[in-house]
Amino acid sequence: MPRNMRAADSLLEAVYQAELHTDDEPRYLRRQKPVEIRRKKFTGRSWLFYRRLLVVTLAGGAGVAVAYVGGKFLLYSPRVLLTRPEQIEVLGNHVIGRQAIVDKFYADRGRSVLRAPLGQRRGAIESLAWIEQARVQRILPNRIRVEVTERTPVAFLCSGTELFLIDAHGVILDRPTDQEFQFPIVTGIGESVPRDERERRMQTYQQFLKDIDLVKSGSSERVSEVDVSNARDLRVVMTGLAGGAGVQPVTVHFGQGDFVGKYRMLVDNFSLWQANAGSIQSIDLQYTRQVVVNPEANVAGSPAANHSGRRSVARQAAAGPPKQKLH
């Protein structure tokens, strides 16, 4: 019995000591799971990936080599050099000479056509007065094509003692000696007038010709001179207003608008005015619903004549032709 009691005491003491050691450690401490290190095996799938990578690398290198060799060929090969004027094709020129256009490519002689700055050459060609628009393109391996649109003159321009041509945009052009033109003569503008102002006045000139042709076909052919110096008064010298074979020039002041109405009134009443006045050198149609015949002759006389000239202004009635005192 005592032996059994000692054994029981020893067991209790062992359990007690075990509990003391357990209280010193975390109660829920779990065992760490070891990390498994996987070693990637060199499989057949990996070989396929590296083969593709190798092929792409080789193809890229070959492409770079071809591009280098091709670029060197296109920039320096004798087959792509611009060496002769015949390699430049010029289309659309009728007035401007071919040589004037070819000269704009002088700096590109002996160089590859790919190195020619086409934008700069186009601008240089369009700086020529007769060229309105130009198109420049490369024709491989060694040609350049130039297509130009030349300006269209609409009138002669009298500036001082010289006679030029002028287009609808107010660009003054040298008159070619080997071509003939038939236009009215425009006066009152020159190089001193700004380009945009010249263009506005030439638009008025063209609108006038268009309007009088609407009233009577072929009327623009009777216009011999147009003075656009005064933007508020278009002064026109016309012939054949009396009809038949009459060629006496008459100066007509058309003002700045309503050319259709004013010219229709002129055509309908000129014979009547001429029958009353005998001879007509000029007619003033600037003012609405009134006409002055030979105003310069009226103003140039004595004070009595000036007074009489002022009475030559007649107001047009609402119906019927205008009535005025003629001199």
pLDDT of residue 10: 65
What does each C-alpha distance from 305 to 133, 276, 285 come to in angstroms?
56, 18, 21
In contact, 164 and 119? CB cutoff 8 Å: no
Instruction: Return all residues near 170 (Cβ < 8 A) that are at least 6 apart.
Output: 189, 193, 195, 196, 197, 198, 199, 200, 201, 202
Q: What distance in Å separates the CA atoms of residue 325 and residue 242, rounded to the nearest whole number?
A: 20
Q: What is the largest CA-CA distance in the chain?
A: 175
Burial 268-282 (b: 16+ CB within 10 A, else e): ebbeebbeebeebeb
Nearest to 198 by CA among 220, 158, 231, 225: 231
Helix (H, G, I), strand (E, B) or coil at 94: coil
Quick check: do 79-150 and 153-315 share a fold? no
For residue 141, is the peptide bond before it cis, meaning its omega torsion is within 30 degrees of 0? yes
Nearest to 153 by CA among 89, 99, 95, 71: 95
Q: List per-block mean pLDDT (blocks of 10 residues) for the chain, which spans 327 residues.
A: 58 57 52 59 64 74 62 65 94 95 94 92 96 95 95 95 95 92 94 94 96 95 95 94 74 94 93 87 88 74 37 35 37
Q: Give me the helix-helix angle, 259-277 and 195-215, nearest 10°.
A: 60
pLDDT of residue 254: 96
Instruction: Give the global pTM.
Output: 0.68
Q: What is the DSSP letter of 38?
A: P
pLDDT of residue 308: 35
Average pLDDT, the chain: 80
pLDDT of residue 210: 97
Domain ranges in the chain?
79-150, 153-315
pLDDT of residue 322: 37
pLDDT of residue 158: 95
pLDDT digits (tens, 9 = 90+) for 157-180: 998 889 999 999 999 999 998 889
Q: Are strands 143-150 and 131-139 parallel, antiparallel or unpaired?
A: antiparallel
Architecture of domain 153-315: 3-Layer(aba) Sandwich (3.40)
Architecture of domain 79-150: Roll (3.10)
Q: What distance in Å separates the CA atoms of residue 262 and residue 212, rounded to the nearest whole number?
A: 9
